[in-house]
Amino acid sequence: MKGESGPAAADRSSVTSGASAASARAGRADPLAAAREICLHQLAARPRSRAELAAVLSRRGVEEEIAGLVLDRLAEVGLVDDEAFAAAFVSSARAGRGLGRRALAVELRRRGVQPEVSEEALAAVGTEDEEATARSLVSRRLRVMEGLPASVQARRLAALLTRKGYPLDLVRRVVEEAVEAVVEEEAEEADSDVDSLDRGVQRRPRSRWQS
């Protein structure tokens, strides 16, 4: 069979070239779509920083250039925003885990948030806010320490606040005040019990055998 020539051959060549180009474009688009799906799946589970998403893409074998394009696009539409991520993380970690500023800074750094972004988010946590959170933590924990010696309570509370990232001067002050308040309350209750016992003894009727 003779090969086609003329317009028919040109048309077939054009169709073939067009199909090849379309196939090539599809091939180039697939990595972008795959990377985007990976990011969206990660974001559906919980908010993530850009660095966290980049790390996931790297582990999945996504090329750095492709990852950058996808992350840039997600940032353009507001799905990747480290400032919003940092602010939300600080708020939720304080409310849910009672973390102090130092621990919050460590957690943000571990998630790849840039220092200047972290500092802006942490600026929303004032000294009074941090102290209030520390006192709330101590108050809740003291409820399950009833009956323990004051020294044991103080040691465990100090360890708790230190792990949560509170400054040592705040830890000492908050713990000392809380434990002293408990000791005073227990002393007042003991005095009240003694007074009640004394009144009961005084009101006891005299026996007819007593002169």
Query: Per-residue confidence at 185, pLDDT binned at 50, 70, 90?
Result: confident
Residue 167 has pLDDT above 70, yes or no: yes
Among 57, 63, 55, which Cα is nearest to 37's?
57
CB of 43 closer than 8 Å to CB of 52: no
The rounded percent of the chain whose pLDDT value lies above 70 is 75
Mean pLDDT of 123-146: 94
Minimum mean pLDDT range among 7-11, 36-40, 87-91: 7-11
Residue 117 to residue 147: CA distance in whole angstroms: 45
Residue 80 to residue 86: CA distance in whole angstroms: 11
CB of 136 closer than 8 Å to CB of 115: no
pLDDT of res. 5: 54
Residue 163 has pLDDT above 90, yes or no: yes
Residue 74 to residue 99: CA distance in whole angstroms: 30
Residue 1 has pLDDT above 60, yes or no: no
CB of 32 closer than 8 Å to CB of 70: yes
Each as own residue / partner, the long-range contacts of residues 202-207 (CB below 8 Å, 24 or more positions apart, any chain) are none
> Within 13 Å of residue 194, how many CA atoms lie on the same side as its CB?
6
CB of 64 closer than 8 Å to CB of 55: no
Residue 119 has pLDDT above 80, yes or no: yes
Type of residue at 33: A
Mean pLDDT of 35-49: 96
Each as own residue / partner, the long-range contacts of residues 53-56 (CB below 8 Å, 24 or more positions apart, any chain) are 53/80, 54/112, 55/112
pLDDT of res. 184: 86
Mean pLDDT of 73-88: 97
Minimum mean pLDDT range among 75-84, 122-131, 146-155, 188-197: 188-197
Query: Which tokens is 165 given?
Result: 């990232």
The rounded percent of the chain whose pLDDT value lies above 90 is 70
pLDDT of res. 24: 42
Among 50, 28, 26, 25, which Cα is nearest to 39's?
50
Non-local (6+) Cβ contacts of 131 within 8 A are 170, 174
pLDDT of res. 97: 94
Q: What separation, in Å, do the N-terminal and C-terminal C-alpha atoms of the chain show?
A: 144
